[in-house]
A and B are shown apart, each in its own frame.
Chain A
Amino acid sequence: MGFGPHLVLALLEGLVTAATLSLTALGLSLVFGVMRVVNVAHGEFFMLGAVIAWAVAAGFPGEPALGFAAALVAAPLAVGALAYASDRLVLKRLGYDPEATIVATIGMLYILQQAALTFYGADARPVPAPFSVRIQLPWFGYSGYKLFVIAASIVLLAATWLVLSRTRIGLIMRATQYDAETAQAFGIPVEKVYAGVFALGAMLAALAAVLVVPISQAHYLMGRDPLLLSFIVVIIGGLGSLRGTLVAALLIGLSDGVVSMFFSPTLAKIIATLAVALVLVFRPQGLFGKPAR
């Protein structure tokens, strides 16, 4: 295979990674931006999304498209409800104290992971893709579904951006992010906003997982990688910045695709980690973040 097709494949793979990564990381970034909570359990919300997608899809045997569509609605709703509840039951009671919430979300990580092991089991379970189209390029074949994942992610990201920048809910969220105390003084129910944002962040992770699960499988340990990569993306892009998250996800996804194909996956991870270190040293607020006030 020549250099050209090789590069095309690398870029395609990188785009798929970037697409789902930007959704997941956006959830993490929102939660941190608005609530100042470092949600270590974010990866587990991703995992739960995949597991629920499997459960829902299993309810529609022989009709993968229907099962997938149902999962696309049910998984984020269920995960969002769980996140909402955990915000009410745990984070709120800790007063959103940054250190305490880290410890609390670590606890949530283990509870969710072990609950998945207990009730779902240790097996990796496949979810059929809603459609199986193989696109034959002159040099190799490629999954049509993966291209769909890229497109769907772009649509979902655009929708999130619209909500944040063009709606009243988005305005309230941005106001809370800018200054929670003043927002409260102006009659914004900050605690409700927090619970809503935490749920929204988890829902984005769950959505990404539903998109990913026909490519990989639902497994109770699958939350670790998305969590690490999301942190990398959020640190590079700038906490709380939607634009930064997108740029960083593209950067990390594409470099991961290209570097790991032409060199080695380990080198790709090294480069990503190095990028985090450089950003922290030279631009601690991230590429697009605003310096702390």
Chain B
Amino acid sequence: MIKAKWWIYQIGIPLVLLYAFPWFFNNAHTIHVAQTFLITYIVIVGLNLLVGLSNQLSLGHVGFYAIGAYASAILTMKVGLNFFASILISALIAAVFGAIVALLSLRAKGPYLAMVTIAFGELVSIIANRWVDVTGGPAGIKTSVPSLFGFELGPIQYMWFIGLLAIIFTAGATNIFRGRFGRTFTAFGNSEVASEVLGINVRKWKILAFSVSAFLAGVGGGLFAFQNQFISSTTFELNLSIMFLIAVIIGGSGTKIGPIIGTVVIIGLPQFLHNFVDYHLMIFGGILLIALILLPDGIVGALTKLSFFKKFSSKKVNTELGILHDDREATIDLPDGISGKLLELQNISMHFGGLKAIDDVEIEVLGGTVHGIIGPNGSGKSTTVNVLSGVYMPSGGNLLWKGKNITKYAPHGIAQEGITRTFQNLQLFEDMSVLQNVMVGFHRHFKTGFLKNLLYLGQVSNEERYYAQKAYDLLRIVGLEERAYEKASDLPYGEQRLVEIARGLALKPDLLILDEPAAGASPKEIEKIMDVIQRLKNAGLSIILVEHHMDIVMNICDYITVLDFGKKICEGTPETIQNDPRVIEAYLGGEEVNQLVAGTKFVG
């Protein structure tokens, strides 16, 4: 049923529209504009994956577009390949450059990322301009009339051909959107660190996102090369990159039909401004500005906010994942317990410049226990958690996991080993529903690859449904099944913490690190959180609990380490800790203060 609907909406109707178009609007100009529209649309679909889903910024897409155009022109004219084959090859070349740009900009953010992409685009456009022997420079080079299997494609056939590709790519993009790949793109776009600790290799995924996006830009460029059978370097300038970005944002970035609307705006609107020779820049700029102010989420974003569409879209999520069962008992799925030493910190130090945030700390965590780490503010708890989860690389010492040295592992490597964590400063994937947040946690258990997801084979939808059910079960365990379809960022603070716990559990961890899970929660929520942790403990999960609330720590922990000024000051069972004078001193500033507070001593 769903499948049939998908075929009708994604393939059937667009095909009919595409086929019918030239019968109704048959003149050279409209056909040409339709071609331009479809070519640009393909580029926008790719850019939307990058900007909309993974929150990266590219102001250099014209570079990939140009590479696609020139490579396919050269492959056709000089090597003599068929035009379609050369477009595919040059799109792959563009994808390789996408990977290179991603590598260059891995650590760059915000305006820095913008500059990397601008510099890349400008570099390509300068090379296209100066390398006249190959590119023809601004005087341009001629390409051939596109032909397939010996048939020359006239303007209308070429439009159909581009349209067919556009439909195929749209279907692929939609499949990516609804599957685990889209989810992962969105996840690291929302929070890189949270994605990492859930086992997502963000570097690899960023490269993938850039490559896919560059591939589509390359296809667009290749198709463009044969549209007028002529290309010149003056086409490929920064302005075009900005236009592409305008289309993504104004259509509604990260939405499925945003690219169509956005492309209509950047290709369609200027068609009506031809007559305003002296004012067209102003009118376009004005409309753009007003649209951005009135519809900050883009046109599609604004529409989905209307209640009618909202109902429609939330229902859709429900049906796509199939029916989630409430009847079966939800059980926590955990790996076999390990007794003995699970994790060892050997002489771990972490220095920031001259500051020793933690200094020569040794901790042993035993399997099946809840190990508390406490200490006053600035004692190095957070730093310890960051070192344990791989977010920081320790300055000295070793981290042993089941006897294996994991000191140099990246967070996603540590997650693959079965350690994950929650965050004191919440790191939820804000653009996703609660259920999807938890589904990201299953990342390392998913098996289907990119191609299968692109085609959304039965295997993929089975997998999706299976893990949706599992995620739903986890939400039932933490008591959030009612909230499954709400946006994660709309939940109250305490419930957001529970979502993080559920998300961590999805990894099926051997060790779960809870970083202040009760901070900022209301007393009622704290009770709920405590209850959840208690149940996890009963189920045999090994936990490291970093917490301020003494009642939680003392009630739940089997063993406690106390840090102060980056050093371990004592260790032991809750009883030992409670009575240790060093702890009291660390927390309350010494015996004297303690006496003052207790009223046994007076000032004066």
A-B complex is real: no
